[in-house]
Amino acid sequence: MVVGCRLGLVQRGPCARPLFPPVAGLGVIWSGMTNRDRMNLFRYLAKREGWTERASLAAACFLVTAAVYLTTACPTIHLGDSGELATATATLSVPHVPGYPFLAQTGFAVSRLPFGSLAFRANLYTLLSSAIAVVLIFFLALRWAKHHAAAFAVAMAFAFGQTFFEQSLKIRAYPMGVAFAAAIILLTESWKKSGDRRLLFLMAFLTGLGLTNHQILLAAAMWPVVAFLRRIKKQRLSDLAIALLFAFIGLAAYAYLPLRAGADPVLNWGEPDSWTRFIEALTQKQYAHKMLSTDFAPKFKMAGIILKSFAVETGPAVFILAFGGAMVLWRRNREILVAGLAVIAVNIALRVNYIGKDEFHQVLRYTMASTLMVAVFACFALRALRDRVPPQLFLVLLALVAAYPRPQRARERSVPSLRRRGLRQGGAGVPRTGLCARRGRRQQYFSAVVLRARRTLSRGRDAAAARRHGKRVGFA
């Protein structure tokens, strides 16, 4: 504990507890190592082929994306669910279904940082999640492109794609979902190569844990499913049972919902403190009217929007390369091709099953796993072109891959900026402490209802904002 306090990872005082348990644990392990152990660790890393270059480019991916996101991040409450999710992370509350237990708990650690407003700290959580996702995508691209510059270019193309960039500037669960998807694919490929069942168990655990972040991760889970079915005759039944056990351990994070709901938090959507309401939250019963519709016209329209987005999200260069990569995979590795297409198909199927009025403008945030598959396919095309084109032409191609996406600087429609622009709804001005949500092309404003932080927000601007807000109310 003394070591943790010295490193700034543990709160001082009689009730000392880790501020961020994984980092605190690493600090304790490092402090317990002898100098000889530390030197042996560095010698081992130095022997890894290209380790220095990989680490440098991975750090560059993190720093570049984090710096750009930080300069363009929304400084306050954004549209839609931002106020609700910021409240959930700051007060360990229960947001709308399916409850986002992973976001609420991990975001709570970031909300304790001693700088910035509560809203900015909530957005900072997503910013860091996105930077981590880009680093994992770099390692994923490096695994198949076999070229450091190519992997860096693919990671940058994804990082500054329109939807991923836009979702990284405000508190959302989708960028962390991309990080989970990339980690699951990396672990699956490592397990396929080494056969180490510990990697299989870790992958299963992350799949279960990632589903508590957002259930759209079911699409990315198709990658390990295809890999396991391909090798099912060589697998032991006990390994499958243990993998399922680890997946359920990850899913146990959903216990957060009834536990916190029973504590009467600031925001308690659906009050899932009983078994019936807990199941309704998991199955998203309140959205049942949007699911399993027999009207196929909007489903085909939404599927078309998703398919067209592949050429826009990461740029036409990556999209064209993805077609070439698919042809390379058809000849050399059909398992990866089938796994990637399965991810895309399940992702589209899950999204088109969820059709509501004016839902088309927000469809792409749910399909970033499919965009990741497009980037994966492009890696195989880059690997095939690396030895077939002159080096100078290959570098020009990489520049096109990395530099094409040019999303506009996010126009944050926060309440203060909207008030400055003089926008009005129904003749009434935007309330000073209001939240703004967007439905289709219409702006709708709600008086502030979700930031009454009574115990945890006790001082400063957060407490002042909490006092201005009224009592807790439900959302229609």
- Give yes or no for residue 358 having a pLDDT over 80: no
224 upstream amide cis, omega within 30 of 0: no
Element (H, E) at 442: strand 442-446
- Give yes or no for residue 435 having a pLDDT over 80: no
CB distance 396 to 382 below 8 Å: no
pLDDT digit string (tens) for 184-222?
999 999 999 888 888 999 999 999 999 999 988 999 999
Q: What is the mean pLDDT of residues 317-326?
A: 91
Query: Residue 191 forms beta bridges with which residues?
Result: none
- Give yes or no for residue 18 having a pLDDT over 60: no
pLDDT category, 461, cuts 50, 70, 90?
A: very low
CB distance 123 to 73 below 8 Å: yes
List phi, psi (to 5°) of 438: -120, 130
pLDDT category, 422, cuts 50, 70, 90?
A: very low
- Give yes or no for residue 436 having a pLDDT over 70: no
| pLDDT for position 373 | 94
pLDDT digit string (tens) for 140-192?
999 998 888 889 999 999 998 888 998 888 889 999 999 999 999 999 999 99
Parallel/antiparallel/unpaired status of strands 435-439 and 442-446: antiparallel
Q: Count the helices and strands in the chain (H runs, E runs).
A: 22, 2
Cα atoms in the Cβ-side hemisphere of radius 13 Å centred on 6: 7
pLDDT digit string (tens) for 35-80?
676 566 555 545 555 667 788 888 889 999 999 998 888 888 887 7
Q: Which is nearest to 403 in space by CA: 159, 63, 38, 47?
A: 159
Q: Which is nearest to 239 in space by CA: 209, 185, 184, 200?
A: 200
Six-digit token string for 55:
């680490």
Give the single-character DSSP code of 439.
Answer: E
**3-state SS, residue 352:** helix
Q: Which is nearest to 325 in space by CA: 96, 112, 155, 144?
A: 144
Lowest mean pLDDT among 21-30, 209-218, 321-330, 416-425: 416-425
346 contact partners, CB below 8 Å, separation of at least 6: 218, 219, 222
Q: What is the mean pLDDT of residues 242-247?
A: 92
CB distance 466 to 452 below 8 Å: yes
- Give yes or no for residue 416 having a pLDDT over 70: no
| pLDDT for position 12 | 34
Exposed/middle/buried for 456, CB within 10 Å: 0-12, 13-18, 19+? Answer: middle
CB distance 150 to 137 below 8 Å: no
| pLDDT for position 184 | 95
Distances (CA, A) of 476 to 206, 287, 387, 436: 33, 12, 58, 15
Angstrom distance (rounded) from CA 449 to CA 267: 9
291 contact partners, CB below 8 Å, separation of at least 6: 284, 353, 354
Alpha helices in 212-333 (DSSP H): 222-230, 237-251, 256-261, 275-282, 297-313, 316-332
Angstrom distance (rounded) from CA 199 to CA 217: 19
- Give yes or no for residue 291 having a pLDDT over 50: yes
| pLDDT for position 374 | 93
| pLDDT for position 141 | 92
- Give yes or no for residue 306 having a pLDDT over 60: yes
Residue written as token pair 């994984």: 22
Six-digit token string for 166:
């836009």
- Give yes or no for residue 28 having a pLDDT over 60: no
Q: Which is nearest to 164 in space by CA: 132, 140, 196, 141?
A: 132
Residue written as token pair 């510990």: 198
pTM of the model: 0.77
Angle of CA points 138, 103, 173, to nearest 5°: 55
Alpha helices in 114-236 (DSSP H): 118-145, 148-159, 162-167, 174-194, 197-211, 222-230
Across the chain, mean pLDDT equals 76
